[in-house]
Amino acid sequence: MVYFLARVFAYIVLMPIFCIKVIDKKNLKIKSGAVVICNHQSNWDPIILGHSIKTQPVCYMAKEELFQNKIANWFLRRLHAIPVARGKSDLKAVKTALTTLKNGKILGIFPEGTRSETGEILPFEPGAALMAMRAGVPVVPVYIQASYKLFHQVKLYTHPPIDLKEIVGEKTNSAAVEKATEYLRGIMIEMREKACQK
């Protein structure tokens, strides 16, 4: 219910302000487990992405510090957020995320790990590829093109689901994860280039 109300609020607020347009909406009709990756330029990004996927909630991994306040903790958990300790290996968060995917839900990840101030695609962290490969789910890349100025259009360019096993095979060792990570970054760079040409 909280997620639904947040979606309604986002629709009322975001559509008039940003005029959101999704290119190839069919790619976001996700009805089973998937990792959705996206470029990251603004704090608006997770809200815009979550708003644009209508089939089911998007679960994000958020830094555990945000959960320390009781009200924020209550709200974030009802938005399906997963607390994660930054800067160290958090096995509990990884297990929770994998369970989320295996239960047929969507995990949203910004693989750059931080916001890009220039808009260039930064190096990817391996987490997104690793999660998708271990859970056996596809990756759906999304590129957000936006200035986030009032009444300027925000465009989401979407890519068809990618089965990483077709790219790197069945193994999930470090070499395979690295190859998959670079492949996904290459896709995101291509999406950015195509968006900038339009």
129-181 pLDDT, tens digit per residue, is: 999 999 999 999 999 999 888 888 999 999 999 999 999 999 899 999 999 99
185: pLDDT strictly greater than 90: yes
Give yes or no for a contact between 182 and 174, defined as CB atoms under 8 angstroms apart. no
Q: Looking at residue 81, what is its pLDDT?
A: 84
pTM score above 0.85 = yes
Q: Looking at residue 174, what is its pLDDT?
A: 93
Least confident range of 1-15, 51-65, 78-92, 113-127: 1-15
Query: For residues 10 and 84, which has the higher predicted lDDT (pLDDT)?
Result: 84
Q: What percent of the chain has pLDDT over 90?
A: 59
Q: Looking at residue 7, what is its pLDDT?
A: 65
Q: State the Cα torsion 99-102-103-108 to the nearest 10°.
A: 80
Which numeric CATH code is attached to 1-197? Answer: 3.40.1130.10
Angle at 128 between CA 149 and CA 194, to 5 degrees: 45
Average pLDDT of span 37-52: 91
77: pLDDT strictly greater than 60: yes
Q: Looking at residue 88, what is its pLDDT?
A: 63
Give yes or no for a contact between 58 and 50, defined as CB atoms under 8 angstroms apart. yes
31: pLDDT strictly greater than 80: yes
| Pairing verdict, β 106-109 and 139-145 | unpaired
Q: Six-digit token pair at 80?
A: 């399906």
Q: Looking at residue 84, what is its pLDDT?
A: 82
Q: Report the 10 Å Cβ neighbour count for 113.
A: 13
Q: Looking at residue 4, what is its pLDDT?
A: 64
Average pLDDT of span 2-31: 79
Closest CA to 41 of 170, 130, 146: 146
Query: For residues 66 and 59, which has the higher predicted lDDT (pLDDT)?
Result: 59
Q: Per-domain residue ranges for the chain?
A: 1-197
